[in-house]
């Protein structure tokens, strides 16, 4: 049995898997076929109703260390960015495929976290007024506390409207393997929309994984010294996404860094490597009020030719002032800017075709 | 800067920290003092009202790999066992300190997971009937769907009763370091209850950690080959818990295994090593309907002396039949059995004193 614990300090050289090799050697999640059928049906309906569709990925992925999973490596993400953005995309008339980590935040219910804003706290049990004409005891009633009523009505009405319109499809992943298989399948299906589809890849995806072939079957036993894990690199999935799976989609990826100096260089590097449309850079501690859009310069905006890498890319900073406007969510502005850019992209495609 | 990524295969021998060394070298969480003050106040109130108190720990702990946390090692646990048990302890008249992993399940709200049973789905927006005497439009009303009303009334009434009685204190941890500091502080405070306190240690605690001194300040950069993590062993915290922090408490720990054959040997080993009262063993795949209580044989139940280790311990299996009784929760029986045993423990202490 292969084991990732190598107490004697022996090391195996970590491999860098190509996407092809990855999908040829790692097994698909059991729910994949069922999920793909739901996606097909959803996309056909949106096509008929001529809606643009955005795929929002959200939350962190896990890397299980054992086949019978007890321990796993995880990426920090509550899913706030994705869940919040999904709501604004829905408001903007998009249909949303919300592909999220199990138990991470979701649109609408995100307003009622069990930890910070539990709904049981604003429901009351009240005895109904006994009508004077009758003395029979009616069952107690459940009522919403007046202070919470306005917000709940707003959230609930938006939620019910989305349900009636059928514009939200929720998919769930846990491991980085679930995520990779699902992303490939969904993006291939989204091809039917041509330029009408947007990819908003906000999930915090692990850079590393443990191939199934190297996993321990049972819980790794402790007490044998220290834990020593050797993992392989996850394939750079943006490459085949851009080149093969969805050639016309408008693709937005995210970079989260804790070292602000790395933000723009790493965003440019990603654009140069994968050739997609936008990288949204955010610093771990400033991400609630500041992000930067990094994108290739459009040909007509380049006034003079230059060899410097900065000439090939442009940055747009979005900032909000939370002191002035404490309830403002930066995702509102992010989504508005992307809806605008995606509109230009769709028009650009139409011009090319025409 | 120290980094846990050692791409060249260099290894540092993992250390096994004693509890004393651990607390002397790892920093306390910033919220510790505030939490301890809340625990003191809570315990004084329960003492005055002569309630027994149980500390329930629940959910998994994380091991951050970076100081600005992006990646962490985690232990699988939704917190079902702890949250469910806490409800049954409250029902049995105990006061409960519920020390849980942030965002893991909590008593009462556990019935309304946003993923599997979202509360927004059973609330409706309804236009109130317009009284014939007036044509003014009243605001729409929020009502609970009839099919959900009975269960919600039950959960809500129990929740409100607990709030009125003040018998539930909720504490939160994220990292294994938060957990260790909090467990030590709470158990030291619980000493004031003598034998009247029970420890129900259901949290899934990491066996490994990364000392602060070895952590990378920023996000570990990928693209340098594979990820290589070398961690140290978490101190065996049950030892000082039993010997120093809470000498009279009734202590229940849990063993989760995926290899059933290890369950009883490892439970006995833990009892032999730490000298506490019960290990509840559960297999990952059978834990919803089967657990085993392993405990030292009471002196009068040992009919003949023997050298075999099995003679020193006894096992009691609890099983429920989920086909016959699909809504039964095994935690109801676990808690009933522990309440019985803890009662004997308290009486035993009284006899010793008398």
Angle between helices B330-353 and B80-91 (to 10 degrees): 60
- Whichever domain contains B178, its CATH number is 3.40.50.10300
In this structure, are A261 and A153 located in the same domain? no
| B118 found inside a domain | no
Cα–Cα distance, B92 to B54 (Å, whole number): 11
Asked whether residue B142 is domain-assigned, the answer is no
Residues A307, A311: Cα–Cα separation, whole Å = 7
Say if residue B330's pLDDT is above 60: yes
Quickly state the pLDDT bin for B13 (edges 50, 70, 90).
very low
Claim to verify: residue A226 and residue A274 sit in the same structural domain: no
Contact criterion met (CB < 8 Å) for A233 and B226: yes
Q: Do A159 and B73 touch (CB under 8 A)?
A: no
Q: Which of B197, B206, B204, B171 is nearest to B22 (CA)?
A: B206
Q: Which of B113, B157, B211, B226 to mutate to test the interface with A (most CBs of A within 10 A)?
A: B226
In terms of domains, do A236 and A264 share one?
no
Q: CA of A318: how far to CAs of A61, A280, A287, in Å?
A: 27, 10, 10
Residue B203 is assigned to a structural domain of this protein: yes
pLDDT of residue B7: 29
Q: Does residue B178 form part of some domain?
A: yes
Domain that holds residue A343: 251-354
Distance separating alpha carbons of residues B44 and B303, to the nearest angstrom: 43
- Name, in order, each residue with C-beta under 8 angstroms of A339's C-beta and a sequence gap of 6 or more: A89, A92, A94
B109–A123 CB contact, under 8 Å: no
Phi, psi of A299 (to 5 degrees): -55, -40
Residue A147 lies in a domain: yes
- Contact in structure between A231 and A12 (CB atoms under 8 Å): no
pLDDT band, residue B158 (cuts 50/70/90): very high
Q: What pLDDT score does A13 carry?
A: 44
Mean pLDDT of the B211-225 span = 65
**Are A90 and A164 part of one and the same domain?**
yes
Question: Which residues on neighbouring strands pair with residue A142, listed in sequence order?
Answer: A125
A327-332: long-range pairs with CB below 8 Å, 24+: A329/A84, A329/A88, A330/A287, A330/A288, A330/A289, A330/A290, A330/A291, A331/A81, A331/A84, A331/A85, A331/A87, A331/A88, A332/A88
- What are A182's two structure tokens? 């699902």
Query: What is the gyration radius of the CA atoms in chain B, in angstroms?
Result: 24
Q: What are B48-99's pLDDT values in tens digits?
A: 999 999 999 999 999 988 777 678 889 878 999 999 999 999 999 999 999 9
pLDDT tens digit string along B96-120?
999 999 989 999 999 998 888 999 9
Same domain for A151 and A88:
yes
Enumerate residues 266 to 285 of chain B having a beta carbon within 8 A of any beta carbon in chain A: 284-285
Q: What is the spatial distance between Cα A223 and Cα A256, in angstroms, rounded to a whole number?
A: 36
**Between chains, do B120 and A114 touch, taking CB under 8 Å as contact?**
no
What's the length of chain B?
A: 354
Over the range A248-270, which residues count as b (16 or more CB within 10 Å of their CB) and which as e? ebbbbbbbbbbeeebbbebbbbb
B17 CB neighbours in chain A (<8 A) are none
| Contact criterion met (CB < 8 Å) for B119 and A114 | no
pLDDT in tens, B229-287: 778 889 999 999 999 998 899 999 999 888 888 999 999 999 999 999 999 999 988 99
Record: contact A227-B219, CB cut-off 8 A: no
Chain B contact for A78 (CB, 8 A cutoff):
yes
Interface contact A142-B149, CB threshold 8 A: yes
* Contact residues, chain B, for A266 at CB < 8 Å: none
Q: How confident is the model at residue A215 (pLDDT cuts 50, 70, 90)?
A: confident
**Within a domain: A325:** yes
* Domain end call among A227, A248, A269: A248
Partner residues linked to B62 by β-bridges: B74, B175
CA angle A306, A346, A246 (to 5 degrees): 85
Establish if B23 belongs to a structural domain: yes
The percent of chain B in helix, strand and coil, each rounded to the nearest 5, is: 40, 25, 35
Domain count, chain B: 1
Residue from the list B66, B106, B231 with its beta carbon closest to the beta carbon of A227:
B231
Span B295-314, pLDDT tens digits: 999 765 544 544 555 679 99
3-state secondary structure of B220: coil
Percent of chain A with pLDDT over 70: 84
């Amino acid at each position: 049995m292969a084991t990732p614990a190598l107490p004697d300090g022996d090391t195996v050289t970590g491999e860098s898997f190509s996407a092809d090799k990855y999908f040829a050697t790692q097994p698909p999640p059991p729910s994949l076929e069922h999920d793909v059928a739901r996606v097909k049906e959803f996309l056909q309906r949106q096509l008929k109703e001529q809606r643009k569709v955005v795929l929002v990925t959200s939350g962190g992925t896990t890397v299980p260390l054992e086949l019978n999973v007890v321990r796993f490596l995880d990426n920090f993400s509550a899913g706030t960015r994705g869940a919040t953005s999904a709501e604004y995309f829905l408001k903007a008339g998009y249909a949303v495929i919300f592909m999220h980590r199990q138990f991470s935040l979701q649109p609408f219910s995100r307003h009622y976290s069990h930890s910070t804003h539990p709904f049981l706290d604003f429901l009351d049990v009240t005895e109904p007024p006994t009508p004077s004409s009758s003395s029979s005891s009616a069952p107690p009633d459940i009522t919403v506390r007046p202070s919470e009523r306005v917000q709940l009505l707003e959230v609930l009405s938006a939620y019910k409207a989305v349900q009636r319109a059928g514009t939200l499809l929720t998919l769930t992943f846990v491991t980085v393997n679930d995520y990779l298989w699902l992303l490939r399948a969904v993006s291939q299906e989204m091809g039917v929309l041509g330029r009408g589809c947007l990819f908003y890849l906000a999930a915090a995806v692990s850079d590393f994984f443990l191939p199934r072939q190297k996993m321990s079957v049972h819980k790794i036993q402790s007490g044998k010294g220290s834990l020593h894990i050797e993992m392989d690199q996850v394939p750079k999935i943006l490459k085949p996404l851009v080149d093969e799976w969805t050639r016309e989609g408008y693709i937005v990826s995210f970079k989260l860094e804790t070292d602000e100096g790395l933000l723009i260089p790493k965003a440019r590097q990603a654009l140069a490597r994968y050739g997609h449309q936008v990288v949204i850079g955010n610093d771990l501690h400033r991400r609630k009020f500041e992000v930067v859009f990094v994108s290739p310069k459009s040909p007509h905006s380049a006034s003079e030719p230059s060899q410097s890498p900065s000439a090939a890319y442009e940055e747009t900073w979005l900032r909000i002032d939370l002191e002035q406007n404490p309830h403002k969510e930066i995702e509102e502005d992010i989504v508005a800017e992307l809806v605008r850019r995606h509109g230009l992209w769709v028009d650009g495609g139409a011009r090319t075709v025409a």
